[in-house]
Amino acid sequence: MKTDPNCIFCKIVAGELPKFKVYEDENTLSFLTIEPMSKGHTLVIPKEHVPNVFETSPDTWSLAQETVRKVAHAVEKAMQADGVNINMNNREHAGQVVDHFHIHIIPRYKGDDLQHWPTRKIAAGEGDEISTKISSTL
């Protein structure tokens, strides 16, 4: 399994740094973040060092997503949340702080004052142009 000796999450997986473990299996680890947006804010990571979604294998992605599904149910139930946000930031300019694939499970509560992303209306003709551009790269 690939690891990075300078990666904080690899150090957590190796037991070199403390964690508030929520769930662990052979391939993934889930633990509370130390800078939560709300109580119960949990991270899911693959144990293998993978920087982001662009560099992960289909198998690692699938294993992590199954852990996210399990843990999201547990977080919502245990924290008596009204819902959860599931979020993954990829690369620095998208807000990724630790260069190790990780997915946030954030409990949400009615009236919690956490803000959603700002939105805008799609401009006339923009939808066709953008969808064609994206589709052509698949």
- Euclidean distance between CA atoms 84 and 40, whole angstroms: 10
Active site residue 49: no
Catalytic residue chosen out of the listed positions 41, 102, 104, 116: 102
Question: Please, which residues have CB within 8 angstroms of residue 57's CB and are 6 or more apart in sequence?
Answer: 50
- Paired residues of 30 in beta bridges: 23, 44
E strands in the chain = 21-24, 28-32, 42-46, 83-87, 103-108
Say if residues 33 and 19 touch (Cβ distance below 8 Å): no
Question: Looking at the annotation, which residues are catalytic?
Answer: 102
